[in-house]
A and B are shown apart, each in its own frame.
Chain A
Amino acid sequence: MHVELRDIKKYFGPVRANDGISLVFEPGHIYGLLGENGAGKSTLMKILSGYQAPTSGQVLLEGEPVDFSSPSAALNCGIGMLYQEPQDFPPLQVLENYLLAYDNRLLLDRRAGERGLRSYADRFGFTIEPHVDVNSLTLGERQQMELMRLLSLGAEILILDEPTTGISAEQKEKLFGTMLRLAHEEEKTIVLVSHKLDEVQELCDEVAVLRRGLLVGTRALPCPNRELVRLMFGAEVPRSERARAARDTTTLLVDRASIHTYRLDVEVPTLEARAGEVIGLAGLEGSGQRLFMEACAGLRPIRSGQILLDGEPLHGKRSPFFWTRWLALVVLVTAVAWFAFQWATGGSTGLGFAGGAALSLLVAGTLWLVGTLLVSWTGVSPYHEFQRRGGAYVAAGRLELGLISGLTIAEHRALTNPAQSFVADWAGARQEMERRIAQFNIVGQPDAPVDELSGGNQQRVMIALLNSPLRLLLLEHPTRGLDVTSANFIWERFQDRCVQGTTIVFMSADLDELLERSDRIVVFSGGSVIGILDTSETTVDELGHLIGGQAR
C-alpha cells in the first residue's frame, strides 16, 4: 500500500515533537526511521498508526486522505504497529490474545483461530504454543505473537518500534528474516523505528533520519555509517575510553549459589567481584541473569550456597520480637489443654471447654497480632539490609520498578535519603536534587513529577538517586532505549562510581555494550554459567558464538 505523510506537525505545548515531516512509503520496501531519543520517531509512527492525532498535516493511503480515530481504525485500513512494550494481556492465553480483535462475533471460533495461528507460526518458523499463558513467554515471543495477530487482521503496513530491544539474537534473526520475506515476497510495507545503525543497515532498503522533530535526510542503503551518524547527531560521537578501576578487595562473593524457581534453576559456581570491577552478565533473555541479580540484591532467596556482600550474607535483620508468634502458639496449646483437663476432670473454670478454648484463641490471637506488628516494626528485609550496606539495584522498568508516578524528583530524594528525619526536609531534598540535576544533565525541575520526564531523563533520575557510599550496583539493561550520547553519559557516571570503589554487575542484551563496559563477562545459558570471559581477550564474534552456540 502506498502511504504518504504530508507535512505532519505534532506539538505538545511548547515541545515540537514533529515539525512538518513529509515522507512516502512504497509497498515491498523496508524503511528505517532513525534518530536519537526524542527525535520524534515514535510520535510520527503513533500518528500513522492512529494512536494519536497530528496537530496538523495529513496521512494519505493510496492518495486518499484518511483520518484515524483509533489504532483499530488504522488497522482496518491495513496499518499495524508493533509497540516497544507489547500490547498484550499477560493473564490470557496466546490463542485468546490472538482472537481478541475478532470479538465482533458472539461466539469465538477457537478452532479456526488455532488453525490460523499455527499456519502463521509454521510459515515464519515461530514456535509458540496456542495454549500457553502469555505470562510465560519471553519478550521476543510476545512480539512474534503480536506480529501474527496484526498479519491475520490484514495489516499491509507494519510499523516496528524498536523491536530488538530486549529480545535474543536468535529471535532478532528470525524477526528480520520474517520482515524480509513479508516485504520482498508479499509486498508489504515495513517501517523499522530504531536508533541502532547496524540493524537499520542490515534490514532496510531506505532510511529516513529525524532530528528534533525535523526530517534531516533520507538515504538509500547501504550507506556509510559515518554519514548516518552525522545526520542523526549533527556530528560524529566518539566512543568513550574506559580505564579499569578494579582493586584488590572483594565486594561480592558468590559460592555455589543455586536459585530455584518453577521455571528455571540457576546455578552460579564461584564468582568473586572486586571493588571497582565491572561484571557483565550475558546470555539470552531468561537464562538466569535476572534471577541471579535478584538473589544478589536479597530480593530472592537462594536454596543453597552463599552470596556474600563484603563478607556477610544477606538474610535481613531478624526482629528481636520473633519469638512472639511461638509464644502465641505455646499459650494457645497450653491454655486449651488446661481447659480440656479441667473439663475432663470436672474442675470448675466457669467457662466450660468451648468458652475456655474461645478465650484461649482470643488471647493467643491478640498476642500473635501484636507480635506481628512489632516484628514488622523492628525487622529488616534482606533487600533493605542490602540497601543499608551500600547496595543498589536499578531495574529496567523505570515507572514500574524504580520510580513512582505522581511523586516529584525531590520527593524521590526525600524517600531514598538514608538520613531520613521524621519531619520531611523538603528544602534539603530540593536543594540536593537541584545539584544532582545539574550534575546528571537532567531536563526537569526538582518539583516535576517523574512521569512527566522523558524516558532518558527518568533513567538519569534513577541513577542520580543512588546514594554514597555505594558498594555494589546491580543494573538491569542500564541503557536500554537510550541513544549513544545518553548511554555514554550514563556509563561515564558509572565509571566515576567504579573509581570510588563501587562494584558494578549489569545485564545487557547488547554485546557491544557488554564488551566495551565490563572487565569480565559471565555468560549464562539455561540457568548455568557457561563461561567467564576476560573482555580484553574476547571479541564480539566469540561472545556471540558462545551465547548463540549454546542456545537451545
Chain B
Amino acid sequence: MKERIVQNLWPIVPVLMSILATTLLLVLVGGDPVVTFSALLDGAIGTSDRLFSTLAFWVPLLLCSAGLLVTFTAGLWNIGVEGQMIMGALGASWVALKVAAPHPAIPGWLILVMEVLAAMALGGLWSVLAGVLKTRGGVHEIFGGVALNNLAIIATNYLISGPWQPPEGGTFRGTQPFPSQALFPLLGNTRFSPLTLVLALGVLGLVALSLRGTSWGLRLKALGKNPRSAFLLGVPSERETLTAMLVCGAAAGLAGSVRVLSWFDSLRQSISGGIGFLAILIVLLAGMRPLWTLLIALFFSALLTGGTIVQLRTQLKASISGIIQGTLVLFVLLFGDYRLLFRKRREGAEAEAKEP
C-alpha cells in the first residue's frame, strides 16, 4: 500500500529535482531564483490573460497526450504525432479557406464540425500511413514517423508559399486570416476557447476509460507488452496497431485544428510548435497515467507561457523554461520510472522465484 502511494506520487520527484537544478544554475550565473521563479509563476497565471494563454496552450498538449496514451499502450513509439498534428491543421485550414471563406452563409457550428472532422480524418490517415508502413512494409514507426513529420512540414510550406498564399502577395509566414465564423468561439480577447478545453478533457477521459475498462484497451495492452503472445492469444495485431494509430492521429489532428482555429487564426509555418514532441515527454513522465498526464501537461504549459515574462523582468532569457524542460527530460530518463529504478536489485529475486 505504501509502495503504491510512493509509486503514484513519483512523477513529482524529477519535477522537483529539475527545479532544484535550475535554481542552482540561477545562483551560479548570479540570478535571483526567487525573482525568477515568481516571474515565471506570474507569467503563467499572474493575470487572467496569462492564465487563459496557459490554458490555450494546454489544450493541444492534452489532445496529443491523450492520443499518445493509446499508442504507447499498444507499444508504438508514435514520433509521428507532430506530423499528424500538422496534417490536422492542414485539414482544418482547407475547410476554413475553401469552404468557409467563399460561403459566409454556412452557419458557424457546421463549419466547425466540418473543420474538426477534416482535421481528425487527415491526422488519422497520416498516422495510419505510418502504421501501414510498419505492418506491411516493416518500417519501424519511429523512422516512418520522422519521415512523415518532415513531409508534413514540407506540405505546409508548399501550401503557404504556393496555392494558399494570401492574395496581397504575402510572406512565407502564413495564409490570410480565416473568417471569424470559422474559428472556435474565443473567450473575450484571448486565444483560449473553453469549448476546446471541454473537447480535450472529454477525449482524455474517453481514452482513459477505454484503456482501463474495455476489451479493446486490454488487447492494446497485450499487444504492447508482448505482440507475439498477443497474436497467439487471439489479438489481431494489424487491426489493433492501425486502430491505435488512427485514434492517436485523430486526436493529434484535433490538436492541430485547435492550433489554427484558436491559438492562431490562420495556417502558419510553425503550426505545431513542438507540442507533439512535448506530449511524448509528458506521457512518459506521467508513466502513462491519465491523471498525471493532465497535471504535467498543465505544468509544462505554464512553464512555457511564463518563460516570456521572465525575460521582461530579469535580464535572463526566456530559455529558463527551456532549461527546466531540458533538465526535466534528463531527470525523467534517470529517475522517471520508479519501478525500474528499484527493480535491478530485485530482478534476480523475481526471476528466481518463478522457476526452480
Tell whether, in the assembled complex, residue B355 and residue A407 are in contact, meaning their CB atoms are under 8 Å apart.
Answer: no
Chain A residues within an 8 Å CB radius of B218:
407, 411, 414-415, 424
Stretch at the interface among B95-103, B142-150, B224-232: B224-232
> Is residue A412 within 8 Å, beta carbon to beta carbon, of the partner chain?
yes
Taken residue by residue from 26 to 57, chain A's Cβ proximity to chain B (1 for < 8 Å, 0 otherwise) reads as 00000000010111111100100001100000
In contact, A369 and B215 (Cβ under 8 angstroms) = no
Report if A400-B229 is in contact (Cβ < 8 Å); known contacts: A17-B352, A414-B218, A415-B215. yes
Which of A450-458, A519-527, A533-541 forms contacts with chain B? A450-458
**Known contacts A372-B242, A401-B232; is-contact A453 B354 (Cβ 8 Å):** yes
Does any Cβ of A come within 8 Å of B202's Cβ?
no
A387-446 with Cβ < 8 A to chain B: 387, 393, 395, 399-407, 411-412, 414-416, 420-424, 426
A408 nearest CB across to chain B (Å): 11
State whether A380 touches B236 (Cβ < 8 A).
yes
| B259 contacts chain A at the CB level, 8 A cutoff | no
Complex formed: what's the CA distance from A465 to B221 in Å? 18
Shortest C-beta distance, A354 to chain B (Å), equals 13
B214 near A416 with CB under 8 A, answer: no
Task: List B contacts of A465 (CB < 8 A).
Answer: 233
A422 near B132: Cβ-Cβ < 8 Å:
no
A12 at the B interface (CB under 8 A)? yes
B129 at the binding interface (Cβ < 8 Å):
yes
Q: Is the CB of B356 within 8 A of A42?
A: yes
Is A407 a contact partner of B352 (Cβ separation < 8 A)?
no
Contacts of B326-356 to chain A: CB distance below 8 A = 348-350, 352-356
Query: Which range holds the interface residue count of chain B?
Result: 35 or more
How far does the Cβ of B39 sit from chain A's closest Cβ, in whole Å?
A: 44
Q: Does B4 contact A (CB under 8 A)?
A: no
Q: Is the CB of B234 within 8 A of A416?
A: yes
The reply to whether the CB of B246 lies closer than 8 angstroms to some CB of chain A is yes
A15 contacts the other chain (CB 8 A): yes
Residue from B215, B242, B348, B353 in contact with A376 in the complex, judged by beta carbons closer than 8 Å: B242
Contact A455:B215 (CB < 8 A) given known A366-B125, A400-B228: no
Which bracket fits the contact residues of A?
35 or more
CB-defined contacts of B216 to chain A, threshold 8 Å: 422
A373 sits at the interface (CB 8 A): yes
A372 to B128, CA, bound (A): 9
Residues in A whose Cβ lies below 8 Å from that of B230: 404, 415
Please state if B348 and A52 are interface contacts (CB–CB under 8 Å): yes
What separation, in Å, do the CA atoms of A381 and B230 have in the docked complex?
A: 14
Let me know if B32 is at the binding interface, CB within 8 A.
no
Q: Does chain A have a CB within 8 A of B298?
A: no
Find chain B residues with CB under 8 A from A369 CB: 125, 128-129, 132
B141 → chain A, closest Cβ, in Å?
15
Check B356 against A43 for contact (C-beta < 8 Å): yes
Q: Which chain B residues in 29-45 approach chain A with CB under 8 Å? A: none
Interface residues in B186-233 (C-beta closer than 8 Å to A): 213-219, 221-222, 225-226, 228-233
CA–CA, A455 to B353, complex, Å? 10
- One digit per residue, 1 when the CB lies within 8 angstroms of any chain B CB and 0 when it does not, for chain A 446-489 equals 00000111110010000001000000000000000100000000
CA distance A452 to B354 in the complex (A): 6
Asked if A370 contacts B226 (CB within 8 A), the reply is no
Q: Does B235 contact A (CB under 8 A)?
A: yes
A6 contacts across to B, CB distance below 8 A: none
- Contacts A/B (CB < 8 Å), 16 sampled: A17-B353, A52-B348, A366-B125, A369-B128, A373-B128, A377-B243, A400-B226, A404-B226, A405-B226, A411-B222, A415-B218, A415-B219, A453-B354, A454-B354, A454-B356, A455-B355
Top 7 A-B pairs, shortest CB-CB distance: A52-B348, A12-B353, A38-B356, A376-B239, A455-B355, A404-B226, A376-B238
Supplied contacts A37-B356, A372-B132, 5 more A-B pairs, CB within 8 Å: A376-B135, A377-B239, A384-B234, A423-B213, A455-B355
